């Protein structure tokens, strides 16, 4: 199901210039943010699942294009349908770029397993990474 854009009820002050304004009846999403120990435990959980293979990711967009270019039904789709079909692969490419920008620091102690995430380049956001992490 494709959902239309939704506004954020509680945006941080630093994100005011990034916001898109929607009518009040469409402004229903809360911004999810976690930090401190909870955030570090979420990082640990995500990367531990990733390392065991419990989480798998789509192939790269270039690989998907090469693969589906050989498929007759894909080639007969309209350009718009093809773009929609390839959207998960594009999203994964964005997430991969964000992952490559992260330094992962082990902050575990005897009581808990946790990781800290540090962005190398502050200009590159980590929204797709965070989305995937919260979904897991």
List the domain range (segments joined by +) for residue 4: 1-31
E-state strands within 17-114:
102-106
Q: Are 46 and 108 in the same domain?
A: yes
Residue with tokens 């349908």: 81
pLDDT tens sequence for the chain (136 residues)? 665 665 555 566 676 666 666 666 665 565 666 677 888 888 889 989 989 999 888 899 999 999 999 999 999 999 999 999 999 899 889 888 898 999 988 888 878 888 888 899 988 888 888 888 888 8
φ/ψ of residue 77, rounded to 5: -70, 155
pTM score above 0.75: no
Q: How far from chain centre, in Å, is Cα 71?
A: 28
Distance CA 19, CA 5 (A): 11
Q: Are 68 and 118 in the same domain?
A: yes
Distance CA 122, CA 125 (A): 7
E-state strands within 25-114:
102-106
Q: Are 116 and 86 in the same domain?
A: yes
């Amino acid at each position: 199901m494709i959902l239309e854009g939704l506004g954020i009820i509680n945006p941080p002050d630093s994100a005011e210039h990034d916001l898109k304004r929607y009518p009040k009846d469409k402004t229903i999403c809360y911004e999810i943010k976690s930090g401190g120990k909870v955030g570090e435990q979420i990082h640990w959980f995500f990367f531990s699942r990733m390392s065991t293979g419990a989480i798998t990711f789509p192939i790269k967009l270039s690989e998907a294009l090469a693969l589906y270019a050989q498929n007759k039904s894909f080639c007969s789709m309209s350009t718009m349908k093809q773009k929609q079909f390839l959207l998960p692969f594009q999203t994964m490419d964005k997430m991969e770029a964000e992952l490559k920008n992260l330094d992962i620091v082990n902050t575990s102690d005897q009581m808990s397993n946790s990781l800290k995430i540090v962005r190398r380049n502050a200009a590159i956001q980590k929204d797709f990474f965070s989305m995937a992490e919260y979904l897991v």
